[in-house]
Amino acid sequence: MSRAYQVVWAGVAENDLKEILEYIAIDNPLSALEIFQEIKQRASSLYTFPERVRVVPELLDQSILIYRELVVPPWKIIYRISDKIVYVLSVLDSRRNVEDILLKRLAYYE
């Protein structure tokens, strides 16, 4: 039997998602709703086997191995596993400089 995890969204991640959706909704509200549903559903799926996805490659070069990413193109859902909780920490557009954003943000969570 698989071990169930609780998925918890950090305020920063919720704000990231809100900003993404607001930007998309300017031109296409229906698309924003669909993207919201896809990102939330995929993040919720982390309640089982959250280790199944890769360590964030931009942080691997820095020998930071505790953060993982779930890709919902073109966005990356960045999270950390602690005990039985999956903390969703950021939702980022992969077309941006993800390494710089993550190093600045995730230093806060260590």
Query: How do residues 27-63 score in pLDDT, each as one tens digit?
Result: 999 999 999 999 999 999 999 999 999 998 888 888 8
Q: 65 lies in a domain? A: yes
**Under a CB-based contact definition with an 8 Å cutoff, are residues 67 and 56 in contact?**
yes
Phi and psi dihedrals of 95, rounded to 5? -80, -10
Q: pLDDT class for 1, splitting at 50, 70, 90? A: very low
Q: 1 lies in a domain? A: no
pLDDT tens track for 65-90: 999 999 999 999 999 999 999 999 99
Tokens of 61: 């070069």
Answer positive or negative: Cα dihedral of 11, 109, 83, 77.
positive
- The whole-angstrom separation of Cα 109 and Cα 17 is 19
Given this model, what pLDDT does residue 22 score? 97
Could you tell me the residue range of the domain that residue 47 belongs to?
6-106
Kindly report whether the global pTM for this prediction surpasses the value 0.95: no
**Under a CB-based contact definition with an 8 Å cutoff, are residues 85 and 6 in contact?**
yes
CATH classification at residue 62: 3.30.2310.20
Number of domains in the chain: 1
Q: pLDDT class for 110, splitting at 50, 70, 90? A: low
**Chain CA centroid to CA 27, Å:** 24
